Structure 1
Amino acid sequence: MTDELSTPLGKKRRKTKQGSGSSRWTGFPWGRACAALVVLCGLGVSAWIILVDDPMGGRPVADAPVNLEPDPNPVAEQVASAEATISPAIVNGPSIITLGESAEAQDTAGMPASDLEQDLFEMTGSGPLPRVSSTGVKPFEAYARPSVSPQAAGGRKLIAVVISGLGLSDATTREAINGLPGTVTLAFAPYGSNLEALSDMARADGHEIMLEIPLEPFDYPQNDPGPHTLLVEQPTRDNLEKLYWLLTRMTGYTGIINHMGARFTASAADFSPIMEELGLRGLAYLDDGSSNRSVAPQLARQNGVPYARVDSFIDTNPSQSAILAELDALKRTADERGNAIGILSALPVSIRTLSDWANALDQQQYLLVPISALSGAETAR
């Protein structure tokens, strides 16, 4: 009792049992013992790995060869082993690719038609952009339909006729391709949805083809040639970017023809970079003849661009009788000068009337030729 009263508060004396067996292990260092045991086990495993040559403990191991190459396809090997030589043949103007001919039958230039065409354009984000090939061949030269020159015509008058606005109507375009002689040049608008297929069809049928480029008229935008129209007083870079987009709409054409553009073609400052680009890319320029203020003849000469100018619009009055009268007038122009160029729209009546007129043309006096036969610096007028 006295002891409890004299003990400070919260510091009660612990009672211990005398003679208990567990009291002998109360102070034993269990943590240190366990740590030492783990270290000994680790040392034993390490010694086993170092000293024993088979650390896998006798586990069976087998080496299996792995072939990363797929088994050869017998069909592919058979096709690859068959020799197929590609060579060009000129049939009615376009390049026709044939298979199975010998190497000696290839073009003397040593470049098959498919390779030549690959070298005549550069791929851009918008599509294939025409260019002069690495061997110096120009698209104007490669895609021109073979024809007689004015000097080799033997006194016959040369007449070239262009159908413009093709590609917008699939049915009308096919009618022009199939119904007109191959010597009639076909000009495609850049906005058709099936241009590549239709232009390829036209070339396969023997037609020389051109691409229409929209240029600013004086009454723009009331009279709008269409999207990507080249405009005056615009940065040259902007007009060139529009031109590049237009030029990638299809392939295989000899050059371009203006669609409208009386204001643009009268501005040397705006037109000059465009004509320079045509010269660098080996393309021709056909002036539709709608503006007497056009500076195209001078710019074409300065940049070495093959050039020609349309003499008359044949179907301003789209009736059969009026069209025939204009075609006869075109012959009289050819009689006076030795050659003449006319242009018609892609109208069914124009196509059919031209087809009948061409079939009845006196071949002893007149020859229907593609535009390239009349394009050159000496014919600029």
Structure 2
Amino acid sequence: MRFLLFTLFCLLAGTAHAAPAKAYMSIIIDDLGQSSERDSRTLALPGPVTMAIMPDTPHATDFARQAHKAGRTVILHMPMDPATGPYAWHPGLPIEELARRLDAALLKVPFAAGINNHMGSRMTAQRDAMAWLMGNLQGRELFFVDSRTSAATVAAAEAQAIGLAHVSRDVFLDDVRTTEAIAGQLRQGIELARKQGSVVLIGHPYPQTLEVLEREMPGLKRQGIELIELRQMIAERSNQAMSAHGRNGRYSNR
């Protein structure tokens, strides 16, 4: 009897610490709009990959329309300091200028359902600007993705503070631009999805990244990973911070 009770206890304890029953993954590809060849190859990836398009690129508007027509989620990949260019946000710019640049960038990327930051390690640490941005996006009914290019970011915390639909990036795929390293980052993403129930990956249209995704994405389902569209991920996470980004669902930089 004692043995049976001990066995039952072990089984129950194992169940309590088991990985989530479902593991969800969303993939965002940044820096699109620069190359028609890479844009088309990204668009052909199997599954609901989100297309993050830079406004100051030669194919931004045409590719946004093409991606939208293909049923993919389009987001504006908004340049932020230390990024440069006519649309980039920098600390010290007045709100009126930030608003003008955001309006202009959104005009260049039609059908954008939301935005994420391009670079932005300095800008996303500016609380007043991020608070204004989240309020503006809420008025436009757009969501926000914090690319988390810096641990000092307050962007997601400000989104959470007003209940703006948002998610934060968990894993960068291609900081090291080799197929071996990128495959390793994808495996890390799979493990994290199994551990916490979901994972948001960001990559770039590098040939190495696209090669790995073309090869590995068709087999994700066999590994218990369900690829979902970014809006579904936002609903799945319900504006909660993952454990690496905060505590008890709240962002640590609040």
TM-score (norm 2): 0.82
Cα deviation for residue 364 of structure 1 reads: 6.3
Contact 1:156/1:364 (8 A) holds in 2 = no
More helix by share: 2
- Per the alignment, residue 77 of structure 2 pairs with 212
1:362 and 2:221 correspond: yes
Alignment of 1:115-194 (within 5 A): 155-178=21-44, 180-194=45-59
The reply to whether residue 380 of structure 1 matches residue 241 of structure 2 is: yes
Q: 1:330 to 1:364 in 2, by over 3 A?
A: closer
Partners of 2:32 and 2:154 in 1: CA distance: 26
- Cα distance in structure 1, aligned partners of 2:47 and 2:224: 19
| Aligned 8 A contact 1:285 1:308 in 2 | yes
Provide the rounded CA distance (Å) in 2 between the counterparts of 1:274 and 1:155: 36
How far residue 195 of structure 1 moved from its aligned partner, in angstroms, is 2.3
User: Cα deviation per residue 1:18-57 (whole Å; 9 max; x = unaligned)?
Assistant: xxxxxxxxxxxxxxxxxxxxxxxxxxxxxxxxxxxxxxxx
Q: Where does residue 330 of structure 1 map in the other structure?
A: 189
Give the corresponding residue for 2:164.
Answer: 305
Matches of 1:366 and 1:313, distance apart in 2: 18
Q: 1:299 to 1:181 in 2, by over 3 A?
A: same
The alpha-carbon distance between structure 1 residues 355 and 206, as it changes in their structure 2 partners (threshold 3 A), is: farther
Give CA deviations for 1:172-226 in whole Å, capped at 9, x if unaligned.
1011112x02411111111222323212222232321211111113xxxxxx433
**Is the Cα–Cα contact under 8 Å of residues 307 and 380 in structure 1 kept in the other structure?**
no
User: Displacement, 1:342?
Assistant: 0.9
Matched to 2:131, the amino acid is: S
Across the two proteins, how many residue pairs are aligned to each other? 221
The 8 Å contact of residues 188 and 209 in structure 1, kept in 2 or not, is answered as: yes
Amino acid at match of 1:378: N
Unaligned regions of 5+ residues in structure 2, if any?
Answer: 1-19, 243-254
Q: Distance in 1 between matches of 2:93 and 2:109?
A: 26
User: Is the CA contact 2:53–2:74 (under 8 Å) kept in the aligned structure 1?
Assistant: yes
5 Å-filtered alignment, 1:1-381, equals 155-178=21-44, 180-217=45-82, 224-363=83-222, 365-375=224-234, 377-381=238-242
Query: Tell me, which stretches of 5 or more residues in structure 1 are unaligned?
Result: 1-153, 218-223
Aligned equivalents of 1:288 and 1:268: distance in 2? 16
* SS of the residue 2:149 aligns to: coil
SS at match of 1:269: helix
Which structure carries more relative contact order (alpha carbon 8 Å, separation 6+)?
2
Instruction: Please give the secondary structure, in 2, of the residue aligned with 1:248.
Output: helix
Are the counterparts in 1 of residues 47 and 227 from structure 2 also a CA contact under 8 Å?
A: no
Alpha-carbon contact 1:310-1:342 (below 8 Å) kept: yes
Name the % identity. 25
Question: Which protein has the larger Cα radius of gyration, Structure 1 or Structure 2?
Answer: 1
Q: Is the 8 A contact 1:233 1:270 kept in 2?
A: no
SS state at 1:262 partner: coil
Aligned to 1:379, what secondary structure does the other structure show?
A: coil
Post-superposition Cα deviations, 1:60-111, rounded to whole Å, max 9, x if no partner, equal xxxxxxxxxxxxxxxxxxxxxxxxxxxxxxxxxxxxxxxxxxxxxxxxxxxx
Change (3 A) 1:244 1:346: same
Task: Give the Cα separation in 1 of the matches to 2:67 and 2:94.
Answer: 36
The alpha-carbon deviation at position 239 of structure 1 amounts to 1.1
CA distance in 2, matches of 1:266, 1:233: 12
Deviation readout 1:98-142 (Å, 9 max, x if unpaired): xxxxxxxxxxxxxxxxxxxxxxxxxxxxxxxxxxxxxxxxxxxxx
Counterpart of 1:314, as a letter, is L
The TM-score with structure 1 as length reference comes to: 0.55
Task: Work out the CA distance in 2 between the residues paired with 1:266 and 1:250.
Answer: 25
Offset at 1:270?
2.1
- AA aligned to 2:30 is S
Runs of 4+ in structure 1 displaced over 4 angstroms? none
